[in-house]
Amino acid sequence: MSPPLIDIASVQRWRKLFIAAGLFALLAWTALVKAQPQLEHPVEHLGLIAIMVCVLGRAWCSLYIGGRKKQEIVTSGPYSLCRNPLYVFSFIGAFGIGAQTGSLTVGATFAVACWIVFRIVASREESFLTSAFGDTYRSYVVRTPRFVPNLRLWRDEAELSVRPAFFLRTVRDGLVFLLALPVFEGLEHLQNLGWLDALIALP
């Protein structure tokens, strides 16, 4: 008997809930962390680059997936390299958010936390896709890694059918990562005013 289809909309709601809870916990933690002065600005600049890579990468992926995740298996472009390129770029963006503290350690912690959340979400999505598409999806799973891109697998389409609304929504969602800049600048300002006590300096 085939396994019941998973409500992928429910999966997406859980994903957002996990992310919100995780961000709240990480923000509470980073309020107690101070960057080492000699690394602070270079790490912040590296983080900004990571955020821009995230925004552009997610937009690139949206040109291919275009809201078709539940209707067909997309296997070209970034989806030929790994099965979840949108999530991979989100890992990069999560590092960029954490790096706005000026700490590589915090950046790495944010990236790992993001990976944990999306690994759970990806597993649930894979159950849905296996139920919906059977051997077609199983074949894709066998030849394509979940997260780590394999550049040797690259294949592309001669042309794409793009859904502008989905593309613009993905860009808009990606720009949320830029909110890390004022948030962490605000935390740093509160620390400088003495309203928040940093308990530890991390590289």
pLDDT averaged per 10 residues, the chain (length 203): 47 59 61 71 92 93 77 90 95 91 88 90 89 92 96 89 79 76 70 62 62
Q: pLDDT at position 69, please? A: 61
Cβ atoms 29, 146 nearer than 8 A:
no
**Residue 161 confidence (pLDDT):** 78
Instruction: Using CB atoms within 10 Å of the CB of residue 12, give its burial: 0 to 12 exposed, 13 to 18 middle, 19+ buried.
Output: middle
pTM: 0.78
Could you tell me whether strands 33-35 and 200-202 are parallel, antiparallel, or unpaired per DSSP bridges?
A: parallel
- pLDDT, position 113: 87
DSSP state of 196: S
Given this model, what pLDDT does residue 66 score?
A: 76
Nearest to 8 by CA among 156, 127, 137: 127
Please name the amino acid found at residue 2: S
* pLDDT at site 58: 92
Burial of residue 151, with CB atoms counted within 10 A of its CB: 0-12 exposed, 13-18 middle, 19 or more buried: exposed
Residue by residue, what is the 3-state secondary structure of 76-107?
A: CCHHHHCCCHHHHHHHHHHHHHHHCCCCHHHH
CA-closest candidate to residue 47, choices 24, 30, 32, 64: 30
Q: Measure the CA–CA gap between 60 and 170, rounded to whole angstroms.
A: 9
C-alpha span between 41 and 43 (Å, rounded): 5
Q: Say what the pLDDT of residue 32 is.
A: 62
**For residue 4, what pLDDT is reported?**
43
